[in-house]
A and B are shown apart, each in its own frame.
Chain A
Amino acid sequence: MSKYINKAVFAQVLALILVILAVPMMAWAGGGGGPFSAGTFSAIQVGLVLFAVISAWLLKGKMGLPMPKLIQAPLLWVICYVGFRIILTPPIPFSLLAMYMGVCTVAIFLYCSLTTPSWEEFSHPIAVMLREDHGTAKLSRYATFLIVPGLIAFQTYSQMLPSFGEPIELRTVHPAPPASINLHKKTYNLQTAENPFRVGEDGNYLKVGDEAQYFGGNAWTGDVPKFLQQVQQGGTVFFGTAGCFFCHGDNLDGKGPFSFAFNPIPANFADPGTISQLQETFVFWRVAKGGPDLSREAFPWASAMPPWEKHLTTNEIWKVIIFEYWHTGFFPRTWG
């Protein structure tokens, strides 16, 4: 009998620890603040779940102790929670998470209470903790009676404390372009316009993809091919005339010396999600017209991208685009 009680108390202590750890976890996860950053927090959660699974295996497999229902249930619950929080990407909204966890809670409860013996196994340690007056039961009772209300009260406090975080504003980075733009007294149809400086050695238009032969080439010394001459001139616009690198960076990765001051941050051309997903004419529109010509969902009021039509000629705009693709080694998107 005493062995059974000991086991029960053991189960209970472990369960309690899990609950203790789960509650602040949820608080941190929900609040987003707290002492840990999101990354650290995920690491702790995953680590704890792994630890719990390993210790369960050790207990059952190596030490002959089957895991009591009272541990199984919260453990399963925490595993589900961690799974939904971390493994699912993109993160699911809280309402959905609450729904999933509700279903999990019901399922776990059914699992524990389906038969009388299993319900007995689940609830017996709780009953022992509540009513028995021997040492360990008493000790865990005191602990439970203090810690559980304490944690819930703390949770209430953190929920009630007003927080003034940054409002979440979802911005569309690449909104739909207009059908055509007017630039320096000429109209450009963005579906059909072509970059006039995308030329091969014979002076003919270079099909997208064919410029790969010039990637990594030297645009400065020796016999510079025609295409690389455009690259050099485009680079001179990027670094000299226009000074694009102040925001977009020396590596075109959006980390220029001014980037820290801007919100939204400058576009990162080295990222496969920007210029390689866009048509050359889209980039042409963005460079020529800048932030103020964006549609409302792209926050034209906050973009520090200058309308370059005020500072550059049309040719310089086309050349700087050639340079950006050459430097990053990406191809513009085509409809072909």
Chain B
Amino acid sequence: MIDKIGQKRAGIGLKGAIFGLGAVVTAAFVIGTAGLASAQVFSVAPAPKEPSPGTYKPGTLAGSVDAGKGVYFRKCVWCHGPDGAGDGPSAIRLATKPRNFNQGTFKIRHTGSGELPTDEDLFNTVTHGLPGSVMPAWGSILTEQERIDVVTFIKKELVKDREFDDPDEEITVISYGTQIPSSPESIEQGRDIFMNKAKCVECHGVEGRGNGNLSQRGDWGFPIFPANLQKPWNLRGNRRDPYNPRNIFREVSTGLNGTPMPSFAEELSEEERWHVANFVMSLTTVKRPLDPETSKPAIGFVIKSRYVEEGGLPSDASDEKWAVVPPQYVGLASQIIQPPRHFLRTIDDIRVRSLYNDAEVVILLEWDDRTESMRDESGEAKYDYKRLSSIAFPAINTDQYTHENDNKRGPLKDVNPEPVGVYNDGIAIQFAQKWQELSSPQKPYFIHGDKKNGVDIWKWQSDGTIEEIEGHGMGTLETRADTNVKVPFAKWNNGRWQVIIKRAMLTEDKEKSAQLESGQNIPMTFFAWDGDAGEVDGRMALSTFYYLMMEPPIPNTVYIVPPIVFFVLIGLLFWARAAAIQYKKDHEGEEG
């Protein structure tokens, strides 16, 4: 190519220019696309290598058992236990229990229901972890060889009731067939199968939030709740690629061994399973970009509130005015800091939207909760916390450790006491009192403030209670007699709460009540309670600090000044052209 151009050197001018232009644009495009592809957030991990369909003997991975044992006792033993029985020290703290390897029962597989997994399945589970549980993605921690070794060790030494080299063991690897791309028709067919033919709805609920049958148990007797399909980033088998329907197809085809999730390979044809997968993927309406570090939706710590010029603020969650502001994701953790510590919050995120006008601000809070709960002192909680008791883990000897909260020694039997009664569901927003006077970035302590800096908490409960609470630290909460907080809308439907909290921007009590202002970063935090999981008072889910930013309307000058700049510059350029022509005229003859 270069030679050719070289030969035609004389004519290089314009062609060269066009070539150059083309090359620059192409290079920019190629580099740009490559860069974007590497930053592609929807598929963080490369696709796992899948075994080809067919019937085989289970694999015999040739890693080193000894090396694998070394890895296991450094990294895995703390949850899975010294004997692989799923009874490491963390087991008493977890709702999704660590896997008991002894029976050879593995959830995420490419093989038929009840069968052993393939080597690739186990390797990929170690590599990508099990999102939504505490099993991390070891791919970024252990080398490939270490992962092969540890899987070899688990297969040979910790799976005890079955043998991978048993001549009677067979595995049938599923076929993905031909993937049916998602389309409104496919989703519609999938919906029909989900609702009627396969009856997925009975466990996973009408909108897939896992709010169906809550009284099921797994093979080891621990209660299991159906998966919330609207949060695919929490699905164990998502391989850190949660928006890929292949994961759903695989799980529908194989079922999850040890859980009530059956295989539908017999009942549904390949096409039907693809339709179901497409329908399940369509349930997550907002496909949020994921944070590659956490494999959960990326979090922005500024909650943006938009100005509503006319027609008042919405008092219904379905009002189309909300459409101007996208829901923002707030991550929640359990309140594990102060007694009573709470480890197992069921609400892990809230979606927040906010609008305001000159007089008031409205905040729409949406969160998933499988049950609508109302306080009932003698009621039986639907979430069975017996699953958390250490009675189920005789192997964990905790006698020598501190009893929770009171420095008494004794077994950790009631670290997660079974809740007595049912409590209200609830939500609360906390602002700093007199935040304008704090010198940035100072704030009150994020849980209910501190002695010096108080907080103003707006709390709603499912029985209709609306409170404005003053806090100067946990245990100092005081409900104020006067409140300006209103809740014009609160509704639970198909596993989701939608609550609108409304308040005047400014109130009379400037000391105790937070005064809101547009154009300022106002520190705020969130709290949530799931009454059916025994959450009440300090047993709650919480966030650290976010900022509420009520964006001032954009001034008109933003739209006026740039066009003026544009035309003035064109004028200047024409003036330069006139000057250049004049100059040439004046110097005509000198040049030659």
Contact = CB atoms under 8 A, between A and B. Distances in A.
Contacts of A169: 440-441
Contacts of B133: 257
A74 interface: no
B49 interface: no
B333 interface: yes
B492 interface: no
A237 interface: yes
Interface string B534-568: 00000000011101010110100110011101110
A124 B348 CA distance: 66
Interface string B400-436: 1110110100001000000000000000000000000
A102 interface: no
Contact of B78 (A43, A218, A235, A296): A235
A6 interface: yes
A71 to B, nearest CB: 10
Contacts of B445: 292, 300-301
Interface in B5-48: 5-6, 9-10, 12-14, 16-17, 20-21, 23-25, 27-28, 31-32, 34-36, 38-39
B570 A149 contact: yes
B294 A259 contact: yes
Nearest to B131: A257
Given A63-B2, A149-B565, A243 B441 contact: no
Contacts of A260: 291, 293-294, 296, 299, 331
A279 interface: no
Contacts of B25: 17
Interface string A126-157: 01001100001000010011101110111011
Contact of A316 (B73, B401, B551): B401
Contact of B562 (A64, A153, A219, A258): A153
Given A221-B73, A300-B445, A7 B13 contact: yes
Contacts of B412: 240-241
A127 B565 contact: no
B454 interface: no
B35 A216 contact: no
A261 B332 contact: yes
Contacts of A62: 2, 6
A43 B35 CA distance: 7
Interface stretch (B103-111, B336-344, B359-367): B336-344
B136 A250 contact: yes
Interface residues of A, number: 99
Contact of A306 (B296, B338, B404, B574): B338
Contacts of A5: 13
B333 A141 contact: no
A3 interface: yes
A179 interface: no
Contacts of B336: 243, 246-247, 258, 306
A190 interface: no
State the 4 A-B residue pairs at the shortest beta-carbon distance, nearest first. Answer: A6-B13, A240-B89, A261-B331, A40-B35
B323 interface: no
A44 B34 CA distance: 9
A39 B6 CA distance: 37
Interface residues of B, number: 109
B9 A64 contact: yes
Which of B141, B558, B566 gathers the greatest number of chain A CB atoms within 10 Å?
B566
B580 interface: yes
A184 B480 CA distance: 36
B90 A14 contact: no
B391 interface: no
Given A250-B90, A261-B332, 5 more contacts: A47-B27, A47-B31, A63-B12, A162-B558, A263-B544
Interface in B288-331: 291, 293-294, 296, 299-302, 304, 331
B475 to A, nearest CB: 12
A65 B15 CA distance: 14
A237 B16 CA distance: 71
Contacts of A165: 302
Contact of A304 (B36, B90, B544): B544
Given A220-B77, A238-B78, A304-B333, A40 B39 contact: yes
Which of B27, B92, B584 gathers the greatest number of chain A CB atoms within 10 Å?
B27
Interface of B: 2, 5-6, 9-10, 12-14, 16-17, 20-21, 23-25, 27-28, 31-32, 34-36, 38-39, 69-70, 73-75, 77-79, 82, 88-90, 92-93, 133-136, 138, 141, 291, 293-294, 296, 299-302, 304, 331-334, 336-339, 341, 343, 348, 396, 398, 400-402, 404-405, 407, 412, 440-446, 450, 453, 521, 543-545, 547, 549, 551-552, 554, 557-558, 561-563, 565-567, 569-570, 573-574, 576-577, 580-581, 583-584
Contacts of B138: 251
A131 B75 CA distance: 74
Contact of A36 (B32, B299, B573): B32
Contacts of A318: none
Contact of B338 (A127, A152, A219, A310): A310
Nearest to A14: B20
Given A167-B547, A256-B134, A311 B405 contact: yes
Nearest to A309: B407
B554 A162 contact: yes
A157 B556 CA distance: 11
Contact of A240 (B90, B299, B446, B566): B90
Interface in A167-198: 167, 169
Contacts of B574: 145
Contacts of B343: 243, 246
Given A162-B554, A302-B443, A153 B31 contact: no
B337 A306 contact: yes
7 contacts: A13-B20, A64-B6, A160-B557, A239-B79, A241-B412, A258-B333, A316-B402
A296 B334 contact: no
A37 B301 contact: no
A48 B402 contact: no
Contacts of A296: 442
B134 A17 contact: no
Contact of B88 (A36, A239, A316): A239
Given A44-B28, A220-B82, A241 B577 contact: no
A253 interface: yes
A161 interface: yes
Interface string A10-32: 10011001000100000000000
Which of B79, B136, B333 gathers the greatest number of chain A CB atoms within 10 Å?
B333
A225 B429 CA distance: 51
A76 to B, nearest CB: 17
A51 interface: yes
